[in-house]
Amino acid sequence: MQRPKDVNSGVRGGFPAQYALGSAKPNTTGNLAGTESAMKGKNRIGLWIIGVASIVVVGIIVLVVVTGRTPVSSEAHANIPTEWINGNELGSPDAPVVMVAYEDFLCPHCGEFNRNAKARLIEDFIEAGDLRLVYMFFPLDIFAPASYNAARAGQCIIDLSDDPNGFWQYHDTLFFGERGAARYEIENLTALARDAGVNEREFVECFGSVATQDKVDQAVRAGVADGAQGTPHIVINNEVFGGNAANYDAIRAAVNAALVAVE
């Protein structure tokens, strides 16, 4: 997959500034032009519980069928200290190994990487404080405009959500849930932002802002500087991972090698 066009190569800063996508609310200049338009006895108690359970099940079915979204919990992050979850970063700030993953939310190979590797990286390395995973937007022109919509929405969740897991919930919902063109329309992205605890009005303003697009472009420039030409592009302690990103054994071996190198 070809890299995004109109990016400047050679732009590189030191970690963490290079990969920090910001948490301050952006200036909301711009609008949504060009984007898709807007989204009491035991018996009684027992019956009440059954009724509530039925409503929940029906609600989940409606959520998936109507909006194409699959609810994602933060259970995978249950053993990660809250202070280790910071926007697009997951793991100890003092971790000896940093893995930077440049991804496009529509990229099928990125989906394979996340389905095969993310939970196992958490269990094997992140929970122990050995690895920090950093997600970076790298939307591809081949999937435009949906790829850019998904990236801008993700950036707004980083900037606006007060939930430490807000961005990662959004990330996992896109990669692990139902797929389809409607998923990346503004109505559905707004609903995903709402799920992450973001005010709808603030999200809509952020989504259409120049500042948000600038941050996505910043991530793309960092990717180009790190050698990215497609996705997923994985960098482990400043070394490009050249193996199959869907092969967890290869990824684990690369992380272990990086751990040995810093001992």
In whole angstroms, give the CA distance from residue 51 to residue 182.
31
The residue type at 58? V
| 8 belongs to a structural domain | no
Domain count, the chain: 1
pLDDT one-digit tens code per residue, 174-196: 998 877 778 899 999 999 999 99
pLDDT of amino acid 153:
98
Task: Judge whether 81 and 95 are in contact, CB under 8 Å.
Answer: no
Its domain, for residue 198, covers 42-261
pLDDT one-digit tens code per residue, 37-60: 333 443 443 443 344 344 334 443
pLDDT of amino acid 256:
99
**Closest alpha carbon to 219 in 88, 112, 129:** 88
| 36 belongs to a structural domain | no
| 26 belongs to a structural domain | no
* pTM for the predicted model, two decimal places: 0.76
| 37 belongs to a structural domain | no
Whether the bond between 16 and the residue before it is cis, its omega within 30 degrees of 0, is yes
CATH of the domain at 230: 3.40.30.10
- Top pLDDT among 35 and 3 is at 3
| 212 belongs to a structural domain | yes
In whole angstroms, give the CA distance from residue 103 to residue 95.
22
| 61: Cα separation from own chain's centroid | 24
